[in-house]
Amino acid sequence: MHRRITDKLVVATHNPGKLAEMNELLAPYGIAAVSAGELGLAEPEETGNDFRSNAAIKAIAAAQATGLAAFADDSGIVVDALDGAPGIYSARWAGPSKDFNAAMAQIERLLQERGATTPDRRTAHFVSALCVAWPDDHREEVEARVDGTLIWPPRGTAGFGYDPMFLPDGHDRTFGEMTSIEKHGLPPLGLGLSHRARAFVKLAEICLEPR
């Protein structure tokens, strides 16, 4: 049976861009949220082979450390012409200094090497796996994606990570050129645009009630 989120929730991420989005998504539900960073929680090693397992690793670690329900996102960009890279290694491609300009340039270099110069060869999708874990090991898990094309040079300074390079299908602005509200694309704008908002809609259906 699905379980509702009723108490205080730990948002188990150390990524400030993600944290802002996860807090915005939670806001209409009136759940008190505290971040892993605020609580000084350690970052667990992400040893899973897929997004879903890594989201669970992060949520379980935070739930065990705090005794509270914990909400984690594992996400990344999957580039078709690069056989799915960087995928679950999307954060690592930015290196210890978290340089996403360098990570985007690396993707572009590899696309050029493979002759992926036309939009049909430059398709990619973002994936978000969300997990809420409780201290008694109950878990709720959902996943969603958004398809698009990689453009070069990157455009826009909003968002985080690979946003400036990603043009979602059906749009003429990159995620880096959208406000976070547009990137979520939730009502009244739509039924969810970003991978994270689409996954969150599924999570809200099973775990949350609007206040």
**Would you please indicate which residues are annotated as catalytic (active-site) residues?**
74
Return the beta strands (E) in 17-159 as ranges. Answer: 33-35, 69-79, 123-133, 139-150
Determine the size of the site formed for ligand ITT (CB under 6 A): 23
Single out the residue of 148, 154, 159, 168 in contact with ligand ITT (rule: CB under 6 A): 159
| CA distance linking residue 92 with residue 141, whole number of Å | 23
Return the beta strands (E) in 96-199 as ranges. Answer: 123-133, 139-150, 166-168
State which residue, 21 or 140, has the beta carbon closest to ligand ITT: 21
The span of 108-116, 130-138, 158-166, 198-206 binding ligand ITT (CB under 6 A) equals 158-166
163 near ligand ITT, rule: CB under 6 A: yes
State which residue, 12 or 208, has the beta carbon closest to ligand ITT: 12
| CA distance linking residue 159 with residue 84, whole number of Å | 22
Site mask for ligand ITT (CB under 6 A), range 10-39, x = bound:
---xxx--x---------------------
196 near ligand ITT, rule: CB under 6 A: yes
